[in-house]
Amino acid sequence: MSDIHYSKLRFLIADDFSNFRATVNAMLAKLGVYQVDMASNGADVLEKCQRKPYDVILCDYDLGPGKNGQQVLEELRFKGLISRRSLFVLVSADAAKDVVMAAYDCEPDDYLMKPINARMLEQRVSRLLRQRHVLSGVYTALDADDRRRAMSILIDLSITDNRHARVAQKMLGEIFIAEGELAKAEKLYTKVLEVRPVDWARLGLARVKHLKGELDVAGNWLEKIVQENPLYLPAYDVLASNWEQMGHNQQVQATVQRSVAISPKSILRQKRLAQVAERNGDFGTSLQALRSTVRLGELSCHACPEDGFQFARIAAASVEKRLHPPESLVREVVEVMSSTRERFTLSREQLTRAELLTARMLAHSGQTEQARSLMEVTEAQLRRGDEVSLDVNLERVQALQALGEHAQAEALLHNLLQRYAYDQSALEKLDTLLAEPVSETNRALIATVNREGIDLYNQARFDEAIECFEKVRRIFPRHVGVHLNIVQSLIGKLRAGHKDEQTIGTTERALATIGSLIESDHSQYARFQRLQDMATASMVR
């Protein structure tokens, strides 16, 4: 493309300062651009992009009140308001790390730091437009869902000796992986790395190893990438998935936390951290990530009612586990539930869940009368409505437990177990409220972990045995057998001579936890008594 016909291109300049918009407009006019629209805020950008397509959008990161440039780009993509041919360039005067990383994380076509001049603008925009022209055939093929045609064009482009070859190679590798052509992707990335050790090719090769099941190799390569380039966020995402496939949930959380520390303004990263931390029983981290999720969601297209529900659930669970005092969270939960009702059009079921979560939290904060009143109204509505879903019933059980209505909660739980006796996915949800799981999947999980833990215990590898049992305890905190196995491993450690204050304290807390879970008629009560005696004798120095 020897000449760019700027007069035929449509530009959109978005900035909350009219002086900057006028300055950029003047720069574009000198290039021959005359089809220019202006936007002063995020809502204005979205409205204009709904009306017509733009070739280039120059958008400031800070657009004043409302959505910022990152959130605008996310919503344009989420709603399909820009195509592959639309170029989105973020502009920012803020060099703060979290802003810069948030901008890079949403992957605009380019990122410019203010102040910008005419020469810089022309160089960046002309490069992007030439690249778009070269790849136009690829975009047409992808729009038609013809990946074979796209691959054919990219193969030709990737072997040329020009500046667009690298972009073509990167796109080709992505399509090879999407099509399951792992051998071709591996060959492509290897050839690229023979010339230059670029991160995207190193990551692509690690992804291939991951998809081929070579998880240890992939993990080692990914760790090396993030060590050498700790700001390269895509590598953390693949590394977390790699740890997840290996079943190492603590490493998954650590990896996601590292990525969140780099890009804390990413709502999707905060959501993933909240989910992983909850799965690991780390309610403090989960709660903080959900707090960030709710805050970021005020202006994000990725926000949903479930964010607020999950925040309320984890807040209540944190209070029940005595990780946080109820007074510090009740007002926050009430506010989040209120804003969730205001911001989203909730279904009848979602409204019911919001009321039950609020009642549960009010009960924990000592506002019993208000909680009971809310429960009575909700129960009356449920009796008049259609069949109640499992999710609502799970919230009912926990709200009743918070109010001290244990007999009613147990009766409801018993009915649910009978109703869903042959529904394994439903039983897996119910498992979280039971002392011992009933679903086939979770029973098999506990059996497997117990075998592994007992084997480690028999080898006197007590710390590893404890860590193994802890994996299950985090998921099923009321499972007495798992708690007893942890105590037995701690006793083994004490008897091996590790009678330090930390081990003794951990053992005492573990025994106290079991004491709060077990009754004298429990099938494992005798074992609990034996372990209490053994622990007392073993703690003597």
Q: What is the mean pLDDT of residues 383-407?
A: 91
The three-state secondary structure class of 307 is helix
From CA 300, how far away is CA 143, in angstroms rounded?
27
Q: What is the pLDDT of residue 517?
A: 86
Task: Write down the CATH superfamily of domain 6-133.
Answer: Response regulator (3.40.50.2300)
Task: Return the amino acid letter for 236.
Answer: Y
From CA 128, how far away is CA 85, in angstroms rounded?
10
Q: What's the burial of 245, exposed, middle or buried (CB within 10 Å: 0-12/13-18/19+)?
A: middle
For residue 214, give every residue at least 6 positions away whose Cβ sits within 8 Å of its Cβ, in sequence order, or none: none
From CA 286, how far away is CA 395, in angstroms rounded?
19
164 vs 314, higher pLDDT: 314
Give the pLDDT band of residue 432 (cuts 50, 70, 90): confident
Give the pLDDT band of residue 276 (cuts 50, 70, 90): very high
- pLDDT for 5-32, tens place per residue? 999 999 999 999 999 999 999 999 999 9
Give the pLDDT band of residue 470 (cuts 50, 70, 90): confident
| Residue 10: strand pairing partners | 35
Q: What is the pLDDT of residue 134?
A: 93
Q: What is the pLDDT of residue 320?
A: 87
From CA 300, how far away is CA 344, in angstroms rounded?
13
126-132 long-range contacts (CB < 8 A, ≥24 apart) are 126/4, 128/56, 128/87, 128/89, 129/1, 129/4, 129/9, 129/55, 129/56, 129/87, 130/1, 130/4, 130/164, 131/164, 131/167, 132/85, 132/87
Give the pLDDT band of residue 296 (cuts 50, 70, 90): very high
Q: What is the pLDDT of residue 322?
A: 81
Q: What is the mean pLDDT of residues 348-372?
A: 94
- pLDDT for 161-173, tens place per residue? 778 899 999 999 9
From CA 275, how far away is CA 518, in angstroms rounded?
29
Q: What is the mean pLDDT of residues 527-540?
A: 92
CATH says 444-538 is which class? mainly alpha
The three-state secondary structure class of 181 is coil
C-alpha torsion sign, points 314, 475, 375, 406: negative
Q: What is the pLDDT of residue 428?
A: 92
Cβ(400)–Cβ(382) below 8 Å:
no
From CA 37, how far away is CA 28, in angstroms rounded?
12
Q: What is the mean pLDDT of residues 353-380?
A: 93
Q: What is the mean pLDDT of residues 121-149?
A: 94
Tell me the pTM.
0.88
From CA 49, how far away is CA 86, in angstroms rounded?
10
Nearest to residue 396, comparing CAs of 344, 337, 349?
349
Q: What is the mean pLDDT of residues 116-125?
A: 94
Q: What is the pLDDT of residue 493?
A: 93
Residue 125 has pLDDT above 50, yes or no: yes
Residue 478 has pLDDT above 90, yes or no: no
Tokens of 520: 């004298």
Q: What are phi and psi of 14, to 5 degrees?
A: -120, 120
Give the pLDDT band of residue 435 (cuts 50, 70, 90): confident
- pLDDT for 196-224, tens place per residue? 899 999 999 999 999 999 999 999 999 99
Tokens of 393: 């019933």
Give the pLDDT band of residue 2 (cuts 50, 70, 90): very low
- pLDDT for 488-508, tens place per residue? 999 999 999 998 999 999 999
DSSP 471-529: HHHHH-TT-HHHHHHHHHHHHHHHHTT---HHHHHHHHHHHHHHHHH--TTSTTHHHHH
Average pLDDT value for the chain? 93
Residue 133 has pLDDT above 60, yes or no: yes
From CA 147, how far away is CA 127, in angstroms rounded?
25
Residue with tokens 């904060």: 365
Residue with tokens 């603008």: 121
Give the pLDDT band of residue 347 (cuts 50, 70, 90): very high
Strand extents, DSSP E, 18-133: 35-39, 56-60, 87-92, 110-113
